[in-house]
Structure 1
Amino acid sequence: MTLSDAFLDQARSNRSLGSPFTARVLTLLADRLAPGNPVVDRMNDWPGDIGNRGASLALRLLGGLHWLVLAGDCPDLAACYPPNPRPDDATLIAALDRALAEHQPTLMRALDYPPQTNEVRRAAVMIATAHWLAEQFGISRFIASELGAAAGLNLMWDKYRLDLACGVFGPRSSAVRLDPEWRGPCPPDAEIEVIDRRGADLHPIDPHDPDDALRLTSYLWPDQPWRIERARAAMALAGATVDKADAGDWLAERLATLHPGTIHLVTHTVAWQYFGEETYTKCTAAFDAAGARATDDAPLARLSMEGDDRKGEGAPIILTIWPGGHVIKLGRVDFHGRWVDWNAPAHLPGKPRKKLKPKE
C-alpha cells in the first residue's frame, strides 16, 4: 500500500464513521505527499503496515493537525476547522501546506504515537459483558485490566451510564451517558463492583495533565463535538492507574495471583494491532498460564474488540473465558460504539447460569 492509498483508505473509513470533514482533509492530503518534506519523508520510509490495520499513519498525522488547532498554534488551519464555516478547497489546501511546512516538530511528535482515542462509547460492550459474566458465575466483584489503555478512560466502565431501550445499567447520575443503537437481547441486570482497576500502555496519558488531555482530544474528530464532550466528561471521572509498560510483561505480572470470589476481566480495543510479535507471544502465554490456574470461583475473561477484514462492519466482540478456554462470539460493535450487535448466548456452554440478586 502506498502512502497516498493509505490516506484515501482512511478517508473512506472516516466518511463511513460520520466524519466528512476529516475524510475531506485526508483526501486532500493524499495528493500532497511528495518527498522533500521531513514529515512526509518519515511516513514514506515507515516500515511495515502503514494502513488502518497497522501503524495508522493517516490518523497519526490527522491527530497532529488537530493538535495544532486545539493548541492555537496554527490560526490559518484553525479557521478552516469546525465549527467555522466550510472553506473552499484552495483555502484548506493552503492551510494544510502551511501546517506541514511550519509546524514539523509538532507533527513529528504526533507520528511518534499510535492513535489513542480511548473511544468511551466502546465501554457499552464492557458494561454488558460484565453483567453477563456476573450472571454466569454468580460473582459481582471484578478486577478490571486493560492492554493499550492510553488514559484509562475505558477502565472506568462501571462509572458510566448505559441507556438502552430495555433498561439502564450503571449509575444513573453519571456524567458519561452511553446510548448506542442496541441490536439483540438485553444484558442481564446485576450488581457490579470493581475492586481494582489498572492498565498498561507504552505511552500512557494523564487525563488530568493539560498537555496530555490536549493530545488525547486531538485524536477525536472536530466535526463530531459530541465525542469530544463525552471524552472530557470521562476525563473528569478518570481515576485508573495506567502503567508505562509493555503489555506482555505487565500482563504476566498482573495475572500472577488468583483472587477468589472475583472475576478478572481483561480488555483490549483496537490496540492489539499496535503490539509487536514479542508482545503478542508474551500476552498469549500470560493468558494461557493464568487460564490454567483459573477456577469457577476465580475466573479469567479476555474481552477483545479488534478490527478484522469485514470493513465497514465494525469489530468482532470476542470473549474468552477460563477455566475451559471457551471462546464466545458476542457479536459486533461499531468502532466508535454507535451501535452494538449483541448476540450473547443464554449461558456459558456446559455450565448452568447462576442467578444474582437483582438490583433494587
Structure 2
Amino acid sequence: MSAAVRAMFRNQAAGCESLGSPLTARVLTILAAAMTPGHSVEDRVLGWPGDLSRAGDALALRLAGGLHGLVLSGAAPELAAFYRAPEAVADPQATSLLLHTLRAHPAILHQWLDHPPQTNEIRRSAVLIAAGQLLTARLGLPLVLSELGASAGLNLLWDRYALDIGAQFGPKDAAIRLNPVWRGALPPDAVPQVAARAGVDLHPLDPVRDRLRALSYIWADQTERLARTRKGLEALAAYGPVVQQDDAIDWLEKRLAQPYPGRLHLVYHTIAWQYFPAAAKARGLALLEAAGARATADAPLAHLAMEADAQDHGAALTLRLWCGGAAQDIALGRADFHGRWIEWAAPSAQA
C-alpha cells in the first residue's frame, strides 16, 4: 500500500503545482519520498486503508492541512520559518524538518488525518453569482438556497460578494470582491434576491471555534486566498447562516419536502459531491428528480453543480432546472477548482 500512497502524494503535488502552490507541491513531493515506517503518523499514512483515488479520501491534503495548522497555531516555529521563505531551505534540510515535525506532533496531525479537507474556497462563489444572475433573469423569482457540503458556510453568502469581470455584479460596497479571468459572454444583469438560505455538512466548521482548521486547508503560500478566507470567516462570525450538522442527503430530503411557493429553490454544491458515497449520490439524484416532477412555474427547482468530471481541465458547471414539465439541462461551462478562471458557456437568459 505504501507505494500507492507515495504515488498519490506525487499526483497531488502535481495538482498543487498546477493550482499555484509550489510550496505545497514541494512539501508533498518530499514526504512522498521520505516517509518511513516505524513512526505513528507515517505508519498511518503509509498504511492508509481508504480510497486513494482522485475523488477519494484526499489523504495528502489532510496531512498538508495538519502541517499548515501547526504553522498557523505557532506550534511549529521552525516549520513556519520554512513556509515563510522556502527558497532559503535546501531539500535535505526541508526533509529533515518535515520528518521531525511529523514525529514531534503526532496527536495534532492524527486529528487532521481523521477528517477530509474542507477548503472553503470563496472564489467558487463567482460561479454562484453568475448562475444566480442567469436564474433571476430567466424566472424573476426570489431564491431559497440549499447548499450541500457547506462546511463553514462561506459560499452561502455569495449574494453579498461582488463579481468584477469588466462589468460588476453584486453589492457596490461588498467587502469581498472576486475577479476571476472570465472567458465568454457576461451573465445577464439581473440582481438576485435571496429569501432564505441554509446549508448542511457532516462536519460543519464554526467560523470562530474552527477558524484554525478552516484556514489550514488554504495553502500556505497563497496569501491572497488566506486573507480572503479570514475576511469571509469574520463576516460569518458577525452574521452568516449556521450550517446544520447532518447527513447531506437526509437533510436534502427534508428540504425538498418543504413547499416554497413564489420562490425558486436552488440546491447546489461546489467540489463536495465527489466525496459523497455512491449510494448517497444515487439517492440524492432520485430525490431531486422526484421533487422536480412536482415543481411548477410558481415554485421551480434548480440543481447547480460545480464538480470534477472525466476532463482534466477544471470542473464542470451544470444546471438542471424544473419549472413544470420536462427538466431542462443547461451546460454553464467550466471553472478552475479554486475559481481563478471561468469559461462561461451559458445560453442567453431568454433561451
Alignment TM class, shorter chain as reference:
over 0.9
Indicate the residue corresponding to 1:356 in structure 2: none
Q: Name the CA distance, whole Å, in 2 between partners of 1:85 and 1:35.
A: 29
For the pair 1:282 / 2:283, whether they are aligned, the reply is: yes
In 2, Cα distance between the equivalents of 1:287 and 1:33? 44
- 2:176 pairs with 1:176: yes
Equivalent position of 1:96 in the other structure: 98
Offset from partner CA, 1:265-320 (integer Å, 9 cap, x none): 11111111211233223312221221111111111111111112222x11010111
Partner of 2:149: 148
The alignment yields a C-alpha RMSD, in angstroms, of 1.5
Tell me, yes or no, if the aligned pair for 1:51 and 1:57 is still in contact at 8 Å: no
SS of match in other structure, 2:293: helix
Question: C-alpha displacement at 1:43, in angstroms?
Answer: 2.6
Query: In structure 2, what is the equivalent of residue 256 of structure 1?
Result: 257
Q: Secondary structure at the match of 2:310?
A: coil
* 1:69–1:78 contact (8 Å) kept in structure 2: yes
Please name the residue that 1:272 is paired with.
Answer: 273
Instruction: Give yes or no for contact 1:146–1:198 (8 Å, CA) kept in 2.
Output: yes
Aligned residue identity for 1:262: R
Contact 1:265–1:300 under 8 Å retained in 2:
yes
CA distance in 2, matches of 1:94, 1:240: 43
1:298-317 superposed matches below 5 A: 298-311=299-312, 313-317=313-317
Query: Partners of 2:73 and 2:87 in 1: how far apart?
Result: 20
Any conservation in 1 of the 2:23–2:86 contact (CA below 8 Å)?
A: no
Equivalent in the alignment of 2:49: 47
**Which runs of 5 or more structure 1 residues have no equivalent in the other structure?**
354-360
In structure 1, the residue corresponding to 2:83 is in which secondary structure?
coil
Task: Give the stretch that moved more between structures: 193-202 or 37-46.
Answer: 37-46
Asked if 1 retains the 8 angstrom alpha-carbon contact of 2:152 and 2:243, the reply is: yes
1:95 Cα shift?
1.3
After TM superposition, the structure 1 = structure 2 runs for residues 293-332 of structure 1, keeping only pairs within 5 Å, are 293-311=294-312, 313-323=313-323, 324-332=326-334
Which of 69, 73, 76 does residue 74 from structure 1 map onto? 76
Counterpart position of 1:20: 22
- 1:122 aligns with one of 124, 127, 132: 124
Q: 2:219 aligns with which of 211, 221, 224?
A: 221
Task: For structure 2, list consecutive stretches of 5 or more residues without a partner in the other structure.
Answer: none
Task: For 1:260, give the aligned amino acid.
Answer: P
Q: Given residue 145 of structure 1, which amino acid in structure 2 is its aligned partner?
A: S
Match of 1:11 in 2: 13
Residues 249 and 282 in structure 1, CA contact (< 8 A), matched pair in contact too: no
Q: TM-score if structure 2 supplies the norm length?
A: 0.94
Q: Residues 28 and 143 from structure 1, CA distance in 2 versus in 1: closer, same or farther, beyond 3 angstroms?
A: same
The one-letter amino acid paired with 2:335 is V
**Take 2:45 and 2:289, find their aligned partners in 1: how far apart are those partners?**
37
2:205 is aligned with what amino acid?
I
TM-score, structure 1 as length reference: 0.92
Cα deviation for residue 85 of structure 1 reads 5.5
Quick check: 1:148–1:199 contact (8 Å CA) kept in 2?
yes
Cα distance in 1 between the residues matched to 2:64 and 2:204: 20
1:61 to 60, 63, 68: 63
Amino acid of the structure 1 residue aligned with 2:175:
A
Q: 1:258·1:294 contact (CA, 8 Å) conserved in 2? A: no
Contact 2:180 2:339 in 1 (8 A): yes
Cα distance per residue 1:169-204 (max 9 Å; x no partner): 111111111000110011001122111111111110
- Letter paired with 2:98: L
- The structural deviation recorded for 1:15 is 0.5
Q: Is the 8 A contact 2:62 2:116 kept in 1?
A: yes
Q: Are positions 1:159 and 2:160 aligned together? A: yes
Q: 1:45 to 1:273 in 2, by over 3 A?
A: farther
Please state how far the C-alpha of 1:45 moved relative to its aligned partner: 3.4
Correspondent of 1:237 among 230, 235, 238 = 235
Distance 1:70 1:249 in 2: 35
What's the secondary structure of 1:2's corresponding residue?
Answer: helix
Counterparts of 2:253 and 2:269, CA distance in 1:
15
SS in 2 for 1:304: strand
Q: Is the 2:35–2:99 Cα contact (8 Å) retained in structure 1?
A: no
CA distance in 1, matches of 2:85, 2:156: 31
Letter in 2 for 1:204: P
2:346 partner letter: A
Counterpart residue number, 1:357: none
Tell me the distance in 2 between the aligned counterparts of 1:84 and 1:35: 26
